[in-house]
A and B are shown apart, each in its own frame.
Chain A
Amino acid sequence: MRVVRWTVTATVILFLVAPLLVVAIVSINQNRYMDFPPDGFSFHWYGELVNDTGWRDAITRSLVIAAASSAIAVLIATPLAYVLRAYDVRLAPLFYSLGILPFMLPPVISAIGAQVFWLSTGYFQRIENVIVSHGIFFSTLPLVTISLAMDQMDRSLGEAAQTLGANPRTTFRTITLPLLLPSIITGYAAAFVLSLNEYIIAFLVAGFAVETLPIKVFNSLRYGFTPTIAAVAVVFILIAATVFTMFAIFGNLLRFLGADTGVLDHDH
């Protein structure tokens, strides 16, 4: 059994790490192409990211879209999750399914839908279109995280606030919302990361006029490869790894991912 355990784990680690390594090596390669063994090392592709306006603009656009659309996603998800869980609403399962559906279907479907929608309004190929469509598409994520948090919240907290004199609005403001904040932030962060990396919706909705980072990367791959792509990827990976490591050190990463922490602590 030990052999199996080691083989599986080692294979998976290799599998997961391989592309990360490739990307890292390409990003510091002197030459344009990936030769093995590599010719020389240089960090000037990272410099490209900052100096080249094409890349800088694409990164900025993607960050703006991610920030704005995630905000919209949260603004849609929070009232939906709260009202459906706090009150006994007729047709609640239907509304919840409606909230989940955008993300459950293959993205190309939402992309085509968004494309025809904006075309028919006559207001299209603009960054606002992408922001709104992303906001709708990714609203599922905060909806799920916030609904989960609502389910796990002790109902008697709201009742206690009422017995202390808080009307429903005050209860929401002083008790429910602060306690939902972690799940709201998680939903926002998830939507942010996914929006940053999203290609097909952004492309079909406004791909010719608004070049987001993924669109630029894909175009680069097809029409002329530069290792700057790899530099982008390495930056993303490093940020993600840092964030998660911080979380693991200062927070409780395992519990956050759903582990049963009681069991873990005794084998150290």
Chain B
Amino acid sequence: MGARGGLKLQGLVKHFDDVAAVDGVDLELPAGQLISFLGPSGCGKTTLLRMIAGLEQPTEGRIVVDDEDVTDQPPHIRDMGMVFQSLALFPHLTVAGNIGYAMRIRGVAKDRIQERVQELLTLVSLEGLADRRISQLSGGQRQRVATARALALEPRLFLLDEPLSALDANLREQLQVELRLLQQKLGITTIMVTHDQREAMTMSDLVVVMNAGRIEQIGAPLDVYRRPATSFVARFIGTTNLLPGTRDSDGVLRVAGREFTVSGEAASGNVVISVRPEDAHLLLGDPPDRNALPGTVVFVRDLGEMFECYVDCGLDDNVVVAGSPRERVPVEQGQRVAISFPSEACVVVGGGDRT
């Protein structure tokens, strides 16, 4: 497939009554990739997707696909396929009827429809189920039918609104992989809305993290994870420790009175430093001079495949250190320990407010 489906969102705003669901979004997305819109419920990601689909009209802004301004086009003219959260399979049609619907209403010849339906069934591994009724299918099968239906006419945009949220955990992880492989095989520009950051991390080429109608950060999954731009992103993706620090006039950054070096720039005044639990190290004995804090063990979780240790270092929240069984340092509740924070793992994510 060629590079169809390059998407440009310019100054998009959407108001519902007085509430701004989308509050100024500018985005340029490359074609052929799987992009996730990630964020908590109410952040505007679904509204954004629905505007791209034409199911909502933007209050302000333009939507451009492959240099074509589609903002004023109704949904049935736009070249796209969409999978809805409820899957929205037509209950009165069979599997074949659902998948062939787009072709049927365009007057495509019956035998051509049948051919294409078989192709698509093979694509999603549902051969032989053409004449089944929707009510007879399992959750995973329905998901695949919804996918096949959306892709029937090889649209330039493939839109997914929390497509796996109705499935149980095991099935969800399996289908995440399947969907991703399918997308890579077809090379189709795909935009997926999800609130599950693990899902976004598993499947995406690009992650767009949203909060309160705005974009907080865009980047490849690992970049967003390792270098969160704001404390919101740091907390939303994975878990993290947020350490409050101050940079004085003498240029030295201190956390709880102890000197810290961090990666990247840090403004003066108050800063917030994000360190992932798995990057922090538990030490017995006194803390080293730099990038370390003393503390008391509050709680230990031994989960078999990993362990977590909650330490009270005198900050507002406990500091969490996590690691594999190999890294397990034998500690007990109430024991005095030290935690070291390697400077390359310390990321400045924002100014003083920790919300």
Contact = CB atoms under 8 A, between A and B. Distances in A.
A163 B92 contact: no
B85 interface: yes
Interface stretch (B4-12, B99-107, B119-127): B99-107
Task: State which size class the interface on A falls in.
Answer: 10 to 19
B105 A160 contact: no
Contact of B76 (A156, A167, A174): A167
Given A163-B55, A179-B92, 5 more contacts: A159-B53, A163-B75, A163-B82, A166-B105, A175-B90
B149 interface: yes
Interface string B61-76: 0000000000000111
Nearest to B80: A163
Contact of A166 (B76, B84, B88): B76
A178 interface: yes
A150 to B, nearest CB: 15
Contact of A159 (B77, B88, B150, B153): B88
Contacts of B53: 159, 163
B81 A163 contact: yes
A156 B85 contact: yes
Contacts of A156: 84-86, 88
B84 A159 contact: yes
Contacts of A165: 76-77, 102, 105-106, 153
B91 interface: yes
A19 B188 CA distance: 70
A-B pairs, 6 with minimum CB distance: A160-B88, A156-B88, A164-B102, A163-B82, A162-B75, A156-B84
A164 B101 contact: yes
Contacts of B105: 164-166, 170, 174
A171 B76 CA distance: 10
Contact of B55 (A162, A167, A178): A162
A104 interface: no
Contacts of A166: 76, 101, 105
Contacts, number: 64
Given A165-B76, A166-B76, A170-B105, A160 B91 contact: no
Q: Which of A156, A159, A164 has the largest number of chain B CB atoms within 10 A?
A: A164
A49 interface: no
B39 to A, nearest CB: 21
Interface of A: 154, 156-157, 159-167, 170-171, 174-175, 178-179
A267 B101 CA distance: 41
- Interface size, B (range): 20 to 34
A167 B78 CA distance: 11
A139 to B, nearest CB: 25
A260 B77 CA distance: 41
A161 B101 contact: yes
Nearest to A171: B76
B111 to A, nearest CB: 20
Contacts of B78: 163
A159 B159 CA distance: 13
Nearest to B102: A164
A170 to B, nearest CB: 5
A171 B55 CA distance: 14
Nearest to A157: B88
A174 B103 CA distance: 13
A159 B149 contact: no
A154 B89 CA distance: 10
28 contacts: A156-B84, A156-B85, A156-B88, A157-B90, A159-B53, A159-B75, A159-B82, A159-B84, A160-B84, A162-B55, A162-B75, A163-B53, A163-B55, A163-B80, A163-B150, A163-B159, A164-B101, A164-B105, A165-B76, A165-B105, A165-B106, A166-B76, A166-B101, A167-B74, A170-B76, A171-B76, A174-B101, A179-B92
A162 B75 CA distance: 6
A172 to B, nearest CB: 12
Contacts of A167: 74, 76
A45 to B, nearest CB: 45
A159 B55 contact: yes
A88 B112 CA distance: 39
A154 B75 CA distance: 18
Contacts of A161: 90, 101
A68 B78 CA distance: 43
Nearest to B82: A163
- Best-surrounded residue of B77, B78, B105, B106 (most CB of chain A within 10 A): B105
Contacts of A174: 101, 105
A156 B86 CA distance: 8
A157 B84 CA distance: 9
A171 B159 CA distance: 20
Nearest to A163: B82
A162 B76 CA distance: 5
Contacts of A162: 54-55, 74-76
A179 B91 contact: yes
A178 B92 contact: yes
A162 B84 CA distance: 12
A95 B105 CA distance: 33
